[in-house]
Every structure is written in C-alpha cells, then in structure tokens.
C-alpha cells in the first residue's frame, strides 16, 4: 500500500499535468514561447525566493547538504561532458545531454516525494537541495544552454547575468541573513507564494505541449544514454558523495540520495527554449553512423523525450530505491 501511495501522491500528479499539456497540444495550436518567458522571468523567481526565504534549516544541515549538492552537480556536469565528448556528440546535443543528465527534478517531483518518503526532514532537505541546485542551474545551466546556440563565452555570460532567477536566490539569502523576510502569513509573502506556485503546473503543461509535438520514434533512439546517466549513474554518484560528506542525520543522507535519483528536470527544456539553438539533432543511420544535422529531432524534442522517459523509468526505479534506503541497504 505504501508503494501505491508514493505513486499516487508524488508521481501521478506530475504525469496528470503533463498529460493535460499533451492533450492541449493535440487539440490546439499552442505557442509555448510566451509561456516560457513568463515562467523563466516571473513565476520561477517568485517560487525560488519564497522557497529559500521561508525554509527552516539547521546551520549544520545547510552546510552539509549545500556542499554535497554542489559536489553532486559539478561532478555530474564533468562526467556527462566527458561522456558526451567520448561519444562524439557535438552542439547542440552535447549541451542538451549535459543538462538533462545532470539536473534532477528536485522541485515539483523531488520535494513531495521526499516528504512522503522521509517526512518533515525529507522536505526540508529537499528544499535545501533545490536551493543549491537553483543557483547552479540559473548560472552554469544558463551558460551551457546558451553555449548550445553557438554564442561566444562573453555572450553566454551576458545571457547568464540577465536571468532574474539568479537574483531571486541572492535576494532571498540576503533577506534571511539580514532578518528582513516579510511575515509568512503577510500579504507580500502570500502573494509571492501564489505567483510562484503557478510555475509548477505551467512547467508541466509546457512539457506536455512540447511532448505533443515530439517525433517519438526518432527521439527515443537518442535518449538511451541520458536514461543510463540520469537513472543509473546519478544515484550511484549521490551515494558516493553522501558517504564522503558523512551526514550526521541518516534521514538527511537518504533524502539527498533520493533527490539525486529523481528524473531529468523540466528546467533544462525551458533554458534551451529560451537561450539555446534550434538546430535539429541527427538520428543515427542504420549502419550506426550519425545522421545529418538537418534531419532527426529538434533539441526541444530530444530534451522533452528525455524528461518523459526518465520520468517513466523513475516509477519503478525510485520505488525500489526508497525500499533499499529504508531497509538500510545503501546508507
């Protein structure tokens, strides 16, 4: 029954909202570019600021989880970059591979999942994981997404500086440090929460609309490496880092590993749509040689399919992982 509850509480709502987007994309010609702009420049900054400003975290937990999360993301960035280059991937698929293999869906998927599996400690740990990930996503992640469009290092850095999400993280941390965070029940924070909460269903709908336009046959042939990296390698990296950091709280350690093991995040899709290139990803020919750049699937289709497949794979894989963690088999 517990496993069924995990599915119904944390996984089914995600599938349902993305499915609604797929239906909408099938019956209507939806332009997702304006929706993406609203999400990146308005809704997500509100979500990030509110989450960081109102999170209740012990200092020791903040430091350990912060260091572990940064180590995990940097480690996965380096590992996936190396794997992509060994496989001979070029832009824009190299950057897409790095982004979707590195950044887990630690927010709208990971937070409810962690809370259900490990209670209040799980939720607090997941929020901190998301906070550190947000800083790296909207700095390094934006840089990598801009790189896929063929821009120079200077141009990519300028793109990174323009993203308000970075400033939302900084503003929230400064507000906490200075003790000037508005009351949680006050008008300002309630309004901010309302705006930020709107980003979660909208991101899932954007994903669904994109999936409705995806060439699944071609895209599925491209995402096998992503699934191995994200759903098999990433959890092992998480376990290794948890052991190295030496968490004092076992529940925090287990939640950290669970967050690392969540499927590919939706955010890389948003970043690539906003900052990346539109070049099509060639599909391998029957003899195994790379396809032509003008054929195949778009980068958005590639990322959308990676998100879809890792999410589907996560249903059984995370169920087994939670069982292994709770039994003490891993940590």
Q: Tell me what pLDDT residue 153 has.
A: 54
Q: Tell me what pLDDT residue 317 has.
A: 93
At residue 296, does pLDDT exceed 70?
A: no
Other C-beta atoms closer than 10 Å to the C-beta of 266 total 29
For residues 22 and 128, the answer to whether their CB atoms sit within 8 Å is no
For residues 177 and 31, the answer to whether their CB atoms sit within 8 Å is no
For residues 203 and 270, the answer to whether their CB atoms sit within 8 Å is yes
For residues 14 and 204, the answer to whether their CB atoms sit within 8 Å is yes
Q: Could you tell me which residue, 258 or 157, shows the higher pLDDT?
A: 258
At residue 156, does pLDDT exceed 70?
A: no
Q: Residues 278, 280, 284, CA angle at the centre, nearest 5°?
A: 160
In which region does residue 215 sit, left (phi positive, over 0), alpha (psi from -120 to 50) or beta (all else)? beta
At residue 80, does pLDDT exceed 90?
A: yes
Q: Could you tell me which residue, 230 or 207, shows the higher pLDDT?
A: 230
- Beta-carbon contacts of residue 331 (< 8 Å; ≥ 6 apart): 239, 242, 243, 250, 253, 254, 257, 325
Q: Tell me what pLDDT residue 100 has.
A: 94
Least reliable range by pLDDT among 67-71, 79-83, 133-137: 133-137
Q: How far apart are CA 304 and CA 54, in angstroms?
A: 31
The whole-number average pLDDT for the span 154-164 is: 67
Q: Tell me what pLDDT residue 259 has.
A: 96
Six-digit token string for 171:
């503003």
Query: 3-class secondary structure for 40-85?
Result: HHHHHHHHHHHHHHHCCCCHHHHHHHHHHHHHHHHHHHHHHHHHHH
At residue 159, does pLDDT exceed 70?
A: no
The CATH architecture assigned to 2-10+32-281+305-326 reads Up-down Bundle (1.20)
**What is the pLDDT confidence band of residue 157, given thresholds at 50, 70 and 90?**
low
Q: How far apart are CA 56 and CA 127, in angstroms?
A: 9
Supply the DSSP symbol for 291.
P
| 245-295 pLDDT per residue, tens | 988 889 999 999 999 999 998 888 878 877 766 556 655 444 444 444 445
List the domain boundaries for the chain. 2-10+32-281+305-326
Q: How far apart are CA 246 and CA 61, in angstroms?
A: 11
Q: How far apart are CA 325 and CA 314, in angstroms?
A: 15
Q: Tell me what pLDDT residue 109 has.
A: 84
- pTM: predicted TM-score of the whole model, two decimal places: 0.79
Burial 75-107 (b: 16+ CB within 10 A, else e): bbbebbbebbeeeebeebbbbbbbbbbbbbbbb
- Beta-carbon contacts of residue 82 (< 8 Å; ≥ 6 apart): none
User: For the residues of 162-187, what is the DSSP string, one character each?
Assistant: H-HHHHHHHHHHHHHHHT-PPPTTSH
| 36-61 pLDDT per residue, tens | 889 888 998 898 898 888 877 666 77
Q: Tell me what pLDDT residue 112 has.
A: 81
Percent of the chain with pLDDT over 90: 34
Q: Tell me what pLDDT residue 193 has.
A: 92
Percent of the chain with pLDDT over 70: 87
- Beta-carbon contacts of residue 196 (< 8 Å; ≥ 6 apart): 43, 44, 46, 47, 48, 49, 50, 51
Give 298's strand partners: 280
The average confidence (pLDDT) of the chain is: 84
| 307-319 pLDDT per residue, tens | 889 988 998 999 8
């Amino acid at each position: 029954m517990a496993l069924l509850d995990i599915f119904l509480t944390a996984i089914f709502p995600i599938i349902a909202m993305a499915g609604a987007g797929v239906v909408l994309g099938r019956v209507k010609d939806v332009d997702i570019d304006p929706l993406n702009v609203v999400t990146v420049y308005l809704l997500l900054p509100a979500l990030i600021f509110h989450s960081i400003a109102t999170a209740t975290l012990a200092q020791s937990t903040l430091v350990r989880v912060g260091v572990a999360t940064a180590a995990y993301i940097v480690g996965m960035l380096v590992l996936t970059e190396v794997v992509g280059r060994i496989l001979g991937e070029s832009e824009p698929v190299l950057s897409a591979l790095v982004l979707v293999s590195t950044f887990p869906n630690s927010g709208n998927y990971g937070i409810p999942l962690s809370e259900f599996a490990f209670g209040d400690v799980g939720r607090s740990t997941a929020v901190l994981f998301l906070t550190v990930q947000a800083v790296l996503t909207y700095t390094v992640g934006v840089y990598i997404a801009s790189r896929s469009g063929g821009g120079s290092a200077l141009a990519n850095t300028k793109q990174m500086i323009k993203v308000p999400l970075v400033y939302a993280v900084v503003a929230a941390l400064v507000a906490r440090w200075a003790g000037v965070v508005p009351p949680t029940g006050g008008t300002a924070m309630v309004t901010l929460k309302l705006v930020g909460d709107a980003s979660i269903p909208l991101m899932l709908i954007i994903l669904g609309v994109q999936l409705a336009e995806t060439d699944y046959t071609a895209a599925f042939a491209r995402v096998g490496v992503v699934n191995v990296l994200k759903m098999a390698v990433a959890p092992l990296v998480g376990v290794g880092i948890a052991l190295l950091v030496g968490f004092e709280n076992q529940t925090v350690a287990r939640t950290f590993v669970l967050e690392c093991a969540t499927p590919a995040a939706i955010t890389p899709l948003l970043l690539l749509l906003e900052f990346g290139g539109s070049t099509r990803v060639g599909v391998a020919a029957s003899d195994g040689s790379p396809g032509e750049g003008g054929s195949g699937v778009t980068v958005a289709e590639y990322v959308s399919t990676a998100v879809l497949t890792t999410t589907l794979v996560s249903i059984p894989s995370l169920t087994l992982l939670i069982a292994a963690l709770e039994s003490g088999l891993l940590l």
